[in-house]
Amino acid sequence: MKRTPNNALLESQRGQKVHKPEEIKRIPEGLRKEPTVEIKKLYYVIYEQEKLKWKIWAEQAKMYNGERIKLFKLKICANPKEGFCITAEKGDYDSKAGKFVFSDNVHLTTKNKGELFTSYLEYLTEEDILTTSAQVRIIKKGLVIKGKGLLYDLKAGHMKVLKQTKVKIDA
Protein backbone atom coordinates (compact mmCIF):
# COMPACT_ATOMS: atom_id res chain seq x y z
CA MET A 1 0.00 0.00 0.00
CA LYS A 2 1.34 3.41 -1.00
CA ARG A 3 1.76 5.84 1.95
CA THR A 4 -0.21 9.07 1.61
CA PRO A 5 -0.58 11.84 4.18
CA ASN A 6 -4.00 10.46 5.18
CA ASN A 7 -3.03 6.81 5.68
CA ALA A 8 0.18 7.80 7.49
CA LEU A 9 -1.87 9.44 10.25
CA LEU A 10 -2.89 7.76 13.46
CA GLU A 11 -6.53 6.72 13.71
CA SER A 12 -7.26 9.69 16.02
CA GLN A 13 -5.75 12.14 13.49
CA ARG A 14 -7.74 11.02 10.43
CA GLY A 15 -10.11 13.63 9.08
CA GLN A 16 -7.91 16.48 10.32
CA LYS A 17 -6.24 18.84 7.85
CA VAL A 18 -2.73 17.80 6.86
CA HIS A 19 -0.38 20.78 6.56
CA LYS A 20 2.01 20.81 3.65
CA PRO A 21 5.52 22.01 4.55
CA GLU A 22 5.01 25.34 2.75
CA GLU A 23 1.88 26.00 4.87
CA ILE A 24 3.73 25.66 8.18
CA LYS A 25 4.68 29.03 9.61
CA ARG A 26 8.42 29.15 10.08
CA ILE A 27 9.80 30.75 13.21
CA PRO A 28 12.62 33.20 12.40
CA GLU A 29 16.02 31.76 13.28
CA GLY A 30 16.80 34.39 15.93
CA LEU A 31 13.56 33.80 17.84
CA ARG A 32 13.70 30.01 17.85
CA LYS A 33 16.97 29.63 19.74
CA GLU A 34 17.29 29.35 23.47
CA PRO A 35 19.37 32.00 25.23
CA THR A 36 23.09 31.30 25.36
CA VAL A 37 23.40 33.03 28.76
CA GLU A 38 20.87 33.79 31.49
CA ILE A 39 21.67 36.16 34.35
CA LYS A 40 19.74 37.03 37.52
CA LYS A 41 20.25 40.42 39.22
CA LEU A 42 22.37 42.01 36.48
CA TYR A 43 24.42 45.14 37.13
CA TYR A 44 26.56 46.18 34.18
CA VAL A 45 28.65 49.31 33.62
CA ILE A 46 29.94 50.43 30.22
CA TYR A 47 32.89 52.78 29.82
CA GLU A 48 33.95 54.45 26.59
CA GLN A 49 37.34 56.17 26.40
CA GLU A 50 37.70 55.87 30.18
CA LYS A 51 34.42 57.74 30.81
CA LEU A 52 31.26 56.25 32.21
CA LYS A 53 28.73 55.78 29.41
CA TRP A 54 25.97 53.48 30.77
CA LYS A 55 24.81 51.79 33.94
CA ILE A 56 22.39 48.90 33.48
CA TRP A 57 20.37 47.09 36.16
CA ALA A 58 17.96 44.21 35.51
CA GLU A 59 16.21 41.55 37.56
CA GLN A 60 16.88 39.09 34.74
CA ALA A 61 18.77 39.11 31.44
CA LYS A 62 18.83 36.62 28.58
CA MET A 63 21.58 36.87 25.97
CA TYR A 64 21.35 35.36 22.51
CA ASN A 65 24.69 34.70 20.76
CA GLY A 66 26.15 38.00 21.94
CA GLU A 67 23.99 39.92 19.45
CA ARG A 68 20.75 40.32 21.33
CA ILE A 69 19.86 40.71 24.97
CA LYS A 70 16.44 40.69 26.61
CA LEU A 71 16.13 42.41 29.97
CA PHE A 72 13.32 42.20 32.53
CA LYS A 73 12.49 44.81 35.19
CA LEU A 74 15.31 47.05 34.07
CA LYS A 75 16.80 50.47 34.61
CA ILE A 76 19.32 52.05 32.26
CA CYS A 77 21.05 55.36 32.98
CA ALA A 78 23.16 57.30 30.49
CA ASN A 79 26.33 59.15 31.34
CA PRO A 80 26.08 62.49 33.11
CA LYS A 81 26.31 64.37 29.78
CA GLU A 82 22.97 63.01 28.52
CA GLY A 83 21.64 62.57 32.03
CA PHE A 84 18.64 60.35 31.54
CA CYS A 85 17.36 57.10 33.01
CA ILE A 86 14.80 54.69 31.58
CA THR A 87 12.95 52.09 33.62
CA ALA A 88 10.65 49.46 32.10
CA GLU A 89 9.26 46.00 32.68
CA LYS A 90 10.97 44.70 29.51
CA GLY A 91 13.84 45.71 27.27
CA ASP A 92 15.33 44.23 24.13
CA TYR A 93 18.69 45.28 22.70
CA ASP A 94 19.69 44.24 19.19
CA SER A 95 23.34 45.13 18.52
CA LYS A 96 23.07 44.48 14.76
CA ALA A 97 20.17 46.94 14.42
CA GLY A 98 21.68 49.35 16.97
CA LYS A 99 18.30 49.60 18.66
CA PHE A 100 17.01 49.28 22.19
CA VAL A 101 13.27 48.68 22.66
CA PHE A 102 11.61 49.30 26.03
CA SER A 103 8.05 48.15 26.76
CA ASP A 104 5.48 47.97 29.54
CA ASN A 105 5.42 50.82 32.09
CA VAL A 106 8.23 52.83 30.47
CA HIS A 107 9.41 55.80 32.53
CA LEU A 108 12.05 58.22 31.25
CA THR A 109 13.57 60.77 33.61
CA THR A 110 15.82 63.56 32.34
CA LYS A 111 17.82 66.35 33.88
CA ASN A 112 16.10 69.21 32.05
CA LYS A 113 13.13 67.86 30.06
CA GLY A 114 11.05 66.39 32.89
CA GLU A 115 9.57 62.90 33.03
CA LEU A 116 8.01 60.84 30.26
CA PHE A 117 5.54 57.98 30.71
CA THR A 118 4.60 55.62 27.87
CA SER A 119 4.06 51.95 27.07
CA TYR A 120 6.73 51.63 24.36
CA LEU A 121 9.95 53.47 23.58
CA GLU A 122 12.77 52.88 21.08
CA TYR A 123 16.32 54.14 21.49
CA LEU A 124 18.28 54.34 18.24
CA THR A 125 21.83 54.20 19.53
CA GLU A 126 23.71 55.43 16.43
CA GLU A 127 21.43 58.46 15.94
CA ASP A 128 21.01 59.12 19.69
CA ILE A 129 17.23 59.37 19.26
CA LEU A 130 14.36 58.23 21.48
CA THR A 131 11.09 57.63 19.64
CA THR A 132 7.64 56.09 20.05
CA SER A 133 4.30 56.00 18.27
CA ALA A 134 2.45 55.16 21.53
CA GLN A 135 0.56 57.51 23.85
CA VAL A 136 2.88 59.70 25.93
CA ARG A 137 2.58 61.90 29.02
CA ILE A 138 5.31 64.39 29.92
CA ILE A 139 5.43 66.13 33.29
CA LYS A 140 7.71 69.08 34.05
CA LYS A 141 7.27 71.63 36.85
CA GLY A 142 3.50 72.18 36.69
CA LEU A 143 3.24 71.42 32.99
CA VAL A 144 1.56 68.24 31.71
CA ILE A 145 1.78 67.38 28.01
CA LYS A 146 -0.19 64.46 26.57
CA GLY A 147 -0.16 63.18 23.02
CA LYS A 148 0.62 60.38 20.66
CA GLY A 149 4.13 59.73 19.41
CA LEU A 150 7.41 61.30 20.40
CA LEU A 151 10.74 62.20 18.87
CA TYR A 152 13.56 63.16 21.24
CA ASP A 153 16.89 64.07 19.65
CA LEU A 154 19.34 63.65 22.53
CA LYS A 155 22.25 65.37 20.74
CA ALA A 156 20.27 68.51 19.94
CA GLY A 157 18.18 68.35 23.13
CA HIS A 158 14.88 68.70 21.21
CA MET A 159 11.77 66.79 22.32
CA LYS A 160 8.61 66.83 20.20
CA VAL A 161 5.19 65.22 20.76
CA LEU A 162 4.00 64.23 17.27
CA LYS A 163 0.16 64.06 17.33
CA GLN A 164 -2.94 64.83 19.38
CA THR A 165 -0.98 67.14 21.68
CA LYS A 166 -2.74 68.56 24.74
CA VAL A 167 -1.07 70.82 27.26
CA LYS A 168 -2.23 71.50 30.82
CA ILE A 169 -0.61 74.14 33.02
CA ASP A 170 -0.97 73.88 36.78
CA ALA A 171 -0.35 77.38 38.09
CA dihedral over 119, 147, 95, 41, signed as positive or negative: negative
Q: What is the pLDDT of residues 34-77, one digit of tens each?
A: 888 888 998 988 888 888 888 889 999 998 887 888 999 999 98
* pTM, entire model: 0.73
Task: Give the range among 13-22, 106-115, 138-147 with minimum mean pLDDT.
Answer: 13-22
Q: What is the pLDDT of residues 13-38, one digit of tens each?
A: 455 544 444 444 444 555 557 888 88
pLDDT for residue 23: 45
Is residue 157's pLDDT more than 60? yes
